[in-house]
Amino acid sequence: MLKIKNSAAAIPAQDMKRARQFYEQKLGLKPEQEEADGGAMYRTGETLFLVFLSTGKASGDHTQMALEVEDVVSAAGELKSNGVKFEEYDDPNFKTKDGLIDMPDGSKGGWFKDTEGNLIALTQRVPAQTPNR
C-alpha cells in the first residue's frame, strides 16, 4: 500500500500573471513557494495547491478544487465584494440562489471560476452524525 505523505491539487493557467493576480488579490492568498516559470504553490489550511503554466484550457464543466470555509455566506460575500462572480445553476434538483445552494445534508456551497476558467467550489460542510450506540 502507498504511504502517501501529502497531496495537492494542480490548477492550470494559460496566463500566469492574470491567474496569480486572481488568487492573490481576489482570494487574498500568498504564495508559499514560487516556481521558476512563474507558477505558485498556495497553502489553504493544511493543504497546498499549485497554479501552473499550461497550454491546456480548463473546461470549467466540473469542480477542480474545493475551498472549505466555516461560514459560506460570509466568505461568498467577501469574495463578491472583491469582484468574484458566482455561478448560477437552475436544475430541478440543484438550484442556487444568489450563487449559493443549501444541500439536503445541511451543507452549503457555491461555485466560481478563476480567470483561467477553472471551476472552484466554496463549501461549508456539516459534521457527520455519529450513530448512537
CATH (domain of 107): 3.10.180.10
How many Å apart are CA 43 and CA 86, to the nearest integer? 22
List pLDDT tens digits, range 22-49: 999 999 999 999 999 999 999 999 999 9
Q: What is the band of 4 on the pLDDT scale with cuts at 50, 70, 90?
A: confident
**Residues 6 or more apart from 92 whose CB is under 8 A from it?**
none
Structural domain including 114 reads 8-124
Domain tally for the chain?
Answer: 1
List pLDDT tens digits, range 59-82: 888 999 999 999 999 999 999 999
Q: What is the pLDDT at residue 133?
A: 60
67 membership: H or E segment, kind and range:
strand 63-68
Q: Is residue 3 part of a domain?
A: no
Take residue 1 and report the three cell numbers written for it.
500500500
How many Å apart are CA 57 and CA 79, to the nearest integer? 24
Strand, helix or coil for residue 122 = strand
List pLDDT tens digits, range 83-131: 999 999 998 888 999 999 998 888 999 999 999 999 999 999 877 666 6
Q: What is the pLDDT at residue 23?
A: 97
Q: Is residue 13 part of a domain?
A: yes
Q: Is residue 25 part of a domain?
A: yes
- Give the CA angle between residues 23, 73, 58 to the nearest 5°: 35
